[in-house]
Amino acid sequence: MSTPWHVLGAGSLGTLWATRLARAGLPVRLILRDIDRLHDYAMAGGLTLVEQGVASSYAIPGETPDSPEPIRRLLVACKAYDAEAAVAGLAHRLAPDAELILLQNGLGSQEAVAARVPQARCISASSTEGAFRDGDWRVVFAGHGYTWLGDAGHPIAPIWLDDLEAAKIPHEWSADILTRLWRKLALNCAINPLTVLHDCRNGGLQQHHCEVATLCGELTELLERCGQPAAADNLQQEVERVIQATAANFSSMYQDVASKRRTEISYLLGHACKVAQRHQLNLPHLKQLQERLTAHLHSLGLPVD
């Protein structure tokens, strides 16, 4: 019998993984916040995946954090700011050989989770897949992408990558996952905050070429100072390519602000500025961007951490 996949976080990516794993016939359990949320989920009868306009439903079992079953494989798909506390609430259920797959944006939350559950193996993931929810318990698969996974402290790939193959989740085991995470953080810092401040889709940033180029220059400097030259390589060209390829899309941070949700600013711009300060690196435009975004969030009554 396959090891069950416990999925923590029923947002877009968590739902996208859960439905594809279930579709492949693999055992999946959805961990929900509390008994009320579990009741709502039971009333809905499962999760729905919408792919190319076709909706398919999957009656994936749901449970609360205090269910008795031990957890051996946990997909942590909640927001970066929720990850540490959510995992801490499940620490008592983790089996001695538990493995956690961390799907958070930015940097900082992965270290916090790993410190909280030192007995578990924590595998970081960086995904370019696009998905959004168009209703409770429903996810629309919006853009095929790729997921890189890796474990900086233990480079041997786990056997459960076969499950991702079966579920048709495009992936690759990366021997240098930190490079992937830093590259993604830099891309997010160069695009997401500007889409919020200029109130535009990603493609709207083509009208702000100089601002994007200046940020990319400072982010390149930061990555090189952090010992991540591969993540810095041709950063501006890639940022411009992503802006063009996703021109019609709204960034995840834009969507969060539009929906009056807390953003992941602390794990994106906040992390970059904190690391720059630690290295005594003066990056005035990056710092100013953080200040502008913080003031904007504050004006909307949204959290700034």
Q: Kindly list the catalytic residues.
A: 184
Name the residue among 138, 109, 152 with its Cα closest to residue 267: 109
Q: Per the structure block, which two tokens stand in for 23?
A: 């579709």
- Long-range contacts made by residues 232-239, C-beta under 8 angstroms, separation at least 24? 232/186, 235/183, 235/186, 235/187, 235/190, 236/212, 238/183, 238/187, 239/186, 239/187, 239/190, 239/191, 239/212
* β-pair type (147-150, 121-127): antiparallel
Asked if 30 and 7 touch (Cβ cutoff 8 Å), the reply is yes
* Measured CA angle at 112 (ends 19, 218), to 5 deg: 95
